[in-house]
Structure 1
């Protein structure tokens, strides 16, 4: 019997491959093909249609990397053929099995109306001849190179148009009219589902025996010499097998049509604009033919691109959205990284995204959709809930290298205690094809089957692969209620989440971040992109603050349009393959250019706002946009600088080192340029670990097992070269004009050079380290280690609106797997009564561990990953010049760590004017900080103040506005009232640990308005 089954399976697969699949199309009529090659960047249809097209022979090779070629296909419907059963087959020369990572095309009618896309798994087009039977179609073909070799990771020049070369990449395949036999196609779908089911069932399963027996009978019934004539009879044999219902206890799957489209990755942003149009066109075509089809797409940015470049397609999307079949999800501007963006950026991802969906599509999204981001910050639940969302979905956690999250459906608890109903699809993919093996994996893998019965499966080719296909919908229809498979029903994410939460309200909880045990290198790769992000975030914070202050104090028009456009550019650049540094060279070159342009635009807003506030004059002022006083400036205001502290003294050591002392901090730097002692006067305690240094530089070999730009693997720690083992090339001491003493240490190593400036300013509580690095390494990792004489089981690392605790030990596999982690502006290492704060201006990758302490015991070392040098997908990633800053503050607590982070990232601006500027608010309390001051998004002129509790304890604060207020109200994070309005002159608040509070102040007498630039909508 076993041999009989094996023979049936082998016979079936050969028959399917050699007879059944070729029989779907019964006849072909070649089309006339002409082409026009676009000289440079893509052009719209209106420009392309009027060009001179050249006759094109079959098999013509076309397409240098990143170029576009327009093809005109023409012909006449043959006599006896009907349009309904005729399709255009358009094979652009597809080269691999992976759709979305090669050539793609978008087809147009002669009047410019979009038809659908052509891609490797969906290269058919409907045949719509005119009254004379003539067929004319234009296809915009993109010669996107295949740089998706995720198994060799070979450096490639194809990631940049400037280095990609001019050789053609593709050879045209079949381009013809083809008669399609619908019955044969349906039989093929029957066979694929039943064959796939038989492969997955146990060998002794009665159901498997019956399925194979039925397939064998089908092979006897169908005539290989007349497949179209016998296909109906063959289907009749299989019909009872397909009618057998699923077991009552079968798992339930809500299948959601989807096409995950990275907003940039192995292609530039401009190509994503076209990928979106192609995919959405395919989806709309499927919806016209399959009324049961439901498709979900995230990222307001992608809809905005469609509206701008293809308004007719966008209008069709809008109509399907009204029907509930085309479903916007996620509520974010893009599917961003969630580890590195600042807190306000994460809020704006939702405020800008949800505003677009609400204003343009009439939809209030409630489900957050982040299947592919590289781990999820513990601050997210509060941000997600505060922006009006109820549910969260990701799939990426199935990629963990070591530990498996214990649930697929659970309540996710953030750092402030907010909980969010969360689902991880047990299919372990966000691009399912709904094959029996995937469906059964979903059922078998589901970890909550004891109490829950359902999961969600996103299906469809992503990244330009075309989205769902008619074959996938056929598989879903056959799997709706089929013995041996879970029950499958195409539906919306909202339907799944509502039913799942109702069924499983007491789901277990997961507390804290969802740390991805993979892709740890994304905290460091492409340092210039990351530095640009940090700088843009800071400038947006300043621009909003000073523009708001100028609007209230001086009546200056608020630059809403400029700020909105700047925010949306920054939000796009936080996409989860841009900010993490895992895209091709083209993407990061553009990101660096865009951040530089944003710096100029935002600095101009800041300068003109401050000019309006301080007036014309020569008084020296410090404008401080940080929520804590710094350098003598008041918080959120401009005031004359106060006198600095005592002068910094320095003396040379006997062996060539130097000692710096400003009466508050004393630093001893040895002859090798290492800070071997760091003492604060208040405690008298030396923070530097005996035998270590507070600025130890180490070069590591960095050769990840797989994902080059993505990963740092733990074996890097075994391959380390200290850079301070010998004396530096130069060690010099000098004083700057403001009295700061700077020790400059210059080193050369391997193929790179590094200059470190160790500085101590009068009155400063911290030593600053500045690094200028000319970096030309390959597959190396440069780390800065701060060795501290502190015994700590954990360090604190800033995240959005708070911090998380990171173990310094490896007691469990979960602790060991977090050997590299993300931190924002500061980290803190402490023991009872004493601590040290380490701040940075652009670094995200960190590690913390215990080291041997000279004299006994263990000390703590904090590592900052300064630079990497991956080769794939950008073979020149990070090479070149870099500047970054770090500060080390001994004798600090958590509040000092927070203040140090602001000092290094939002320094006061020196301005000249006629008058100081009072802050808009007085804040009387401790530990609660004002992160954002802005005017309301709705154009009302209301002033919005966002605060958060920063220390991890319960905090009280009184907020007193220093402008005329009619009333104030607490709101959600989208500035919608979340309580009753009050006319009290002060606002008393008590916040739980890490709680975010947003206050909205209406100016007295309806004062304000945003000026002529503002409109309430988009």
Structure 2
């Protein structure tokens, strides 16, 4: 009789596997349930302060985001004596079992509403209780619960589904994983292979003995399968390094407060499973999450520390949070790593060497240098596997940034951080790994992520059977750092990717939740000013530097740079809360800055001035600008990184050369003509005798596009559908001191725009000071400027430099970049002339041919149905200039738009010790920018961070006009590299193109 295999085998095996699973647990009694429900979490000590509810299975206990302390009680039946007794609990919400002191010991999770079930089943409901029950044991369990699933959804209307005492048939449980692993392995082996037939035969033989699914039958079935599980592979060409993982978004479809509890649920489950599985190694990133555990769950945190020191738990990733790297500013990226690495070093004596950003939405080309100069060598991400049109050609490669710095990158080839660790996952990893010819290792991150939860017993049971199972490449559980160190041995074989790691997805996040993005930009710059003000005050008057306050504020700002907060992809509550906190932080920073300045400002010599005013410049070049003091316009010249004192009572000469009226603005540089609809039909450069706009085009038409996307995405073809425009309601023209102004009011639907187009005497910049009251849904507001420039590439401002991007769509790679991210400006230039579009809080651009298009607002309806409705204020500016962006000084203009001069009135008739004008430091080379001045983290030395911004190798002198004793070149962690030779007033330093240098200046 022939052996005959067909699809009926799989149908039979499916049925048997499900039957085995159902036979693992036998319910023997119900638990008594009491809950105290509250709208927000309360600590263990206050667990009985909510609304008390006596509940049964089938009862609804809460609505979305409700919280409760559940008390489960019962008695183990005598019939369960000698058995392995567990609890089965599913309250349609997340919960955390605690011990008698309130320390988390295990998390519980319902099946998630939107989880990709091809990756496995995310639910956790089994609570181990008595391995060998005596019968009669009292059950008294407390659990802290939230009425939401992993993804912030009200699951099954908040109804209690299970609360049982059950007996676990351990042999049947083991059989389940034996059967599952072999069955899935068989499904991925060609049917003409002997291994397929031997597994199929063993599984069918095991099925034959499973008639009543008793423990005796399970033992017999396991014995049949054991030989197949014991078969090992040969000498491997590839080995998978596996580490447990739980990607926990610090906010997303849930508020930040729920993340804190997700951390406790996840981490307590990890620790519980480590007791059962000696091979289990787990890793977690984000010091912010650890800090919350330390603050809210100190006993749990101590257990985590113990397992870190044992080598079972790996602190991963140097950043304070898994931050967005498109929108986050350059100094913020450094502070992410500075505070992140310092936390891990202080708490665990662990020097992190990896950057762990599995889910951020693309990676700036500035990052490799920042990593290297922070002592980070390796980078891990998953997200690039999400590309829409093009596949990145490598999973293991070297990534080179704009300055030439290079780091080692690995993208787990399975393309997920939620690996099931099942045979299908191992087979996919081997199949997809693009670099398996030159690398003998790849990484697997197994567990339940996004909403947390981490690995379950199913992951670890599978891995126990897959260490070296014939038919699969071997799998080793180990820390990621060991994997990267092994990977590095073949470093000279890997290919190099140069420039940004652009994600062909989620381009809508450059614009979504505009108020948060504006606050982030303003907070970054205000913190820069505050640190400069405090150093200045320390140098002048010995004013105490507010180190603790600054660190606290910085860390909260870094939290809001998490990759689902700053990009705009979280629920409404996240933004309601973060905007309220931003306002408080901004006021605090401004108050601290004012105190710092006032500590020395009245020591200035003002002589006979009637209305003295101090004007402070924190930028590293001289500024010649107009300021307004109590309605009086003054032209001031302020030295770099210093101040000047002027008398506001001195009458300024009459301002001439301005025109405002009859749809015309004009100064000594430019002439602007407006069309009847309010758009601009001409910008004529009087100085260079040329038209700025392309022939026949109109600029600043406020266009409204249909936007059927969500917070993350909008269609690539959005601009192929006819748009509508805001309609001009009124326009007035006037002169205000040195400014010619067109005040325009527009309307579209329920929304209005008031825009002041401003041309300032002596300036080549056209400012569009804009206030929008926006009440549209699924719409996108954009402005565009078709300019009289022919070039093949745009220069885009990014952190600590700029990159060039093509303005054509020759290839699919270029087509996919239909929306790009830039910071303070984007420039189109020929050799002789160029035009830049600047902004003070926007990031999303489209640059195609000769048109610079800026994304101003989006109003998606998911996950926040009210996203960006309301009032917005922002400024963008057109800046025509001679030459390219370097000759035209575009970078400086971008800084000046974003960082105004500080103007502080002084007391009259003071003859102080400080001179009326002073600079504290300056750089001779125009292309070197001082970005940051702060106090060192561990001393009273001064940290100065500078970078080259034009792409040119540069030797220059940095001058200090204060008393100093030594200057040391340090890395970004402020660790000494070398002492510099001091010359008169400073030091000389060489910069590679786009290189960042950090100096530590000792004043004592």
Q: Is TM more than 0.5 here?
A: yes
Instruction: Select the residue among 316, 319, 323 that pairs with 2:306.
Output: 319
CA distance in 1, matches of 2:48, 2:324: 40
Deviation at 1:920, TM superposition (A): 2.7
Deviation at 1:703, TM superposition (A): 1.6
Deviation at 1:645, TM superposition (A): 10
Query: What's 1:265 paired with?
Result: 252
Contact kept in structure 2, 1:429 and 1:458, CA below 8 Å = yes
Answer with 755-764 or 351-360: which moved more: 755-764
CA distance in 2, matches of 1:406, 1:809: 22
Post-superposition Cα deviations, 1:691-719, rounded to whole Å, max 9, x if no partner, equal: 12342322111123xxx110122110112
Post-superposition Cα deviations, 1:120-149, rounded to whole Å, max 9, x if no partner, equal: 322122326999722211011100267679
Output aligned runs, 1:432-831, within 5 Å: 432-615=419-602, 618-630=611-623, 631=625, 632-640=637-645, 647-650=656-659, 652-653=661-662, 657-658=663-664, 660-704=665-709, 708-723=710-725, 728-736=728-736, 738-831=737-830
CA distance in 1, matches of 2:430, 2:654: 68
Query: What's 2:147 paired with?
Result: 143
Deviation at 1:613, TM superposition (A): 2.7
Contact kept in structure 1, 2:315 and 2:352, CA below 8 Å = yes
Contact kept in structure 2, 1:699 and 1:720, CA below 8 Å = no
Contact kept in structure 2, 1:648 and 1:741, CA below 8 Å = no
CA distance in 1, matches of 2:465, 2:257: 39
Output aligned runs, 1:68-87, within 5 Å: 68-79=67-78, 81=80, 85-87=84-86
Aligned-partner SS, 1:483: coil
CA distance in 2, matches of 1:645, 1:427: 70
Contact kept in structure 2, 1:379 and 1:799, CA below 8 Å = yes
CA distance in 1, matches of 2:459, 2:674: 66
Query: What's 1:7 paired with?
Result: 8
CA distance in 2, matches of 1:917, 1:711: 51
Output aligned runs, 1:285-364, within 5 Å: 285-364=272-351
CA distance in 2, matches of 1:291, 1:246: 23
Q: Summarize the Cα distance change of 1:130–1:327 in structure 2 as closer, same or farther, 3 Å threshold.
A: farther
Contact kept in structure 1, 2:81 and 2:135, CA below 8 Å = no
CA distance in 2, matches of 1:503, 1:418: 18
Contact kept in structure 1, 2:507 and 2:820, CA below 8 Å = yes
Post-superposition Cα deviations, 1:100-121, rounded to whole Å, max 9, x if no partner, equal: xxx2001112332322111132
Query: What's 1:22 paired with?
Result: 22
Answer with 517-526 or 240-249: which moved more: 240-249
Query: What's 2:837 paired with?
Result: 838
CA distance in 2, matches of 1:438, 1:145: 25
CA distance in 1, matches of 2:555, 2:83: 44
Q: Summarize the Cα distance change of 1:900–1:983 in structure 2 as closer, same or farther, 3 Å threshold.
A: closer
Contact kept in structure 2, 1:371 and 1:396, CA below 8 Å = yes
Contact kept in structure 1, 2:655 and 2:738, CA below 8 Å = no
Query: What's 1:900 paired with?
Result: 893
Answer with 955-964 or 342-351: which moved more: 955-964
Deviation at 1:605, TM superposition (A): 1.2
CA distance in 1, matches of 2:103, 2:49: 15
CA distance in 1, matches of 2:450, 2:61: 22
Deviation at 1:678, TM superposition (A): 2.1
Deviation at 1:981, TM superposition (A): 5.3
Instruction: Select the residue among 196, 204, 214 that pairs with 2:202.
Output: 214
Post-superposition Cα deviations, 1:609-634, rounded to whole Å, max 9, x if no partner, equal: 11123117741122222333332222
CA distance in 1, matches of 2:29, 2:135: 19
Post-superposition Cα deviations, 1:318-372, rounded to whole Å, max 9, x if no partner, equal: 1111111111111111000000111000000000111111111211100111010
Deviation at 1:187, TM superposition (A): 0.6
CA distance in 1, matches of 2:953, 2:722: 43
Aligned-partner SS, 1:863: strand
Query: What's 2:119 paired with?
Result: none
Deviation at 1:8, TM superposition (A): 2.3
CA distance in 1, matches of 2:82, 2:992: 67
CA distance in 2, matches of 1:947, 1:750: 47
Query: What's 1:911 paired with?
Result: 904
CA distance in 1, matches of 2:990, 2:743: 47
Output aligned runs, 1:382-393, within 5 Å: 382-393=369-380
Query: What's 1:964 paired with?
Result: 963
Post-superposition Cα deviations, 1:426-470, rounded to whole Å, max 9, x if no partner, equal: 011011011111211111001112211210010110134420111
Query: What's 1:426 paired with?
Result: 413
Answer with 373-382 or 693-702: which moved more: 693-702
Contact kept in structure 2, 1:951 and 1:994, CA below 8 Å = yes
Aligned-partner SS, 2:741: strand
Question: Normalization by structure 1: what TM-score?
Answer: 0.91
CA distance in 1, matches of 2:291, 2:3: 57
CA distance in 1, matches of 2:452, 2:91: 14
Contact kept in structure 2, 1:683 and 1:891, CA below 8 Å = no
Post-superposition Cα deviations, 1:283-309, rounded to whole Å, max 9, x if no partner, equal: 111112212111110001000000000
What RMSD over aligned residues (CA atoms) do the two structures have, in Å? 2.1
Deviation at 1:739, TM superposition (A): 2.6
Deviation at 1:168, TM superposition (A): 8.8
Q: Does 1:114 align with 2:113?
A: no
Query: What's 2:921 paired with?
Result: 921
Contact kept in structure 1, 2:667 and 2:760, CA below 8 Å = yes
Aligned-partner SS, 2:327: coil
Aligned-partner SS, 1:689: coil
Q: Does 1:125 align with 2:127?
A: yes
Instruction: Select the residue among 873, 876, 879 that pairs with 1:883.
Output: 873
Specify every segment of 5 or more residues in structure 2 that has no aligned partner in the other structure, as ranges: 111-122, 626-636
Post-superposition Cα deviations, 1:368-427, rounded to whole Å, max 9, x if no partner, equal: 110100001111000111111010000100000000010110000000000100001101
Contact kept in structure 2, 1:34 and 1:55, CA below 8 Å = yes
CA distance in 1, matches of 2:338, 2:323: 14
Contact kept in structure 2, 1:698 and 1:720, CA below 8 Å = no
CA distance in 2, matches of 1:978, 1:696: 52
Contact kept in structure 1, 2:640 and 2:922, CA below 8 Å = no
Contact kept in structure 1, 2:247 and 2:450, CA below 8 Å = yes
Q: Does 1:873 align with 2:863?
A: yes
Specify every segment of 5 or more residues in structure 1 that has no aligned partner in the other structure, as ranges: 94-102, 150-157, 159-166, 851-859, 1005-1018
Query: What's 2:632 paired with?
Result: none
Contact kept in structure 2, 1:26 and 1:180, CA below 8 Å = yes
Size of the alignment, in residue pairs? 956
CA distance in 2, matches of 1:1000, 1:753: 50
Contact kept in structure 1, 2:466 and 2:474, CA below 8 Å = yes
Aligned-partner SS, 1:683: coil
CA distance in 2, matches of 1:91, 1:2: 45
Answer with 985-994 or 369-378: which moved more: 985-994
CA distance in 2, matches of 1:644, 1:565: 47
Contact kept in structure 2, 1:84 and 1:127, CA below 8 Å = no
CA distance in 1, matches of 2:202, 2:256: 50
CA distance in 1, matches of 2:222, 2:492: 44
CA distance in 1, matches of 2:641, 2:798: 22
CA distance in 1, matches of 2:221, 2:707: 58
